[in-house]
Amino acid sequence: MIFDYEKAIEQICEIEWLKEDNNRKHPIYRFLSSDKNYIFEVRYGDREANALQRGLWTHTQKAKPYFISITNGWISYEHNMELVKLFSLALNATKEGHKTVNVILQTDISNSRDWK
């Protein structure tokens, strides 16, 4: 996913200031579109703030219109419960089970994609 910064900048119509409160030590500036949809936010912090507490941030789900998929939608960022189940099974399977499943998955990949 690539954030389309130029599109975002063009569509900013409002900046909302979220003051410090009991849960937040430093302010956040939230940038919104004309219909008050979230685009991104900028967080500030003093020298005690770590890198995760300052800088430009965006929430992918809230700002979907400002992201471009470099896979053209081939990879989805939606929940895939089958994949979650696969990982949980793989964590408990034996090495032989992993080898068997790897062959099945590689065959599926080879049959479903044109890699030429």
pLDDT tens-digit map of 46-104: 777 777 767 888 888 889 899 888 887 777 767 889 989 999 999 999 999 999 999 99
pLDDT at 3 exceeding the cut of 80: yes
Which tens digits make up the pLDDT trace of 16-33? 998 877 677 778 899 999
pTM attached to this predicted model: 0.59
Which tens digits make up the pLDDT trace of 98-114? 999 999 999 988 887 66
Q: Give how far Cα 51 sits from Cα of 23, 38, 54, 60, 90, Å.
A: 18, 22, 6, 19, 34
Per-domain boundaries in the chain: 2-68, 81-112
| Bridge partners for 38 per DSSP | 32
Can you give the pLDDT at residue 114? 61
Q: Give how far Cα 19 sits from Cα of 2, 23, 78, 83, Å.
A: 29, 10, 32, 40
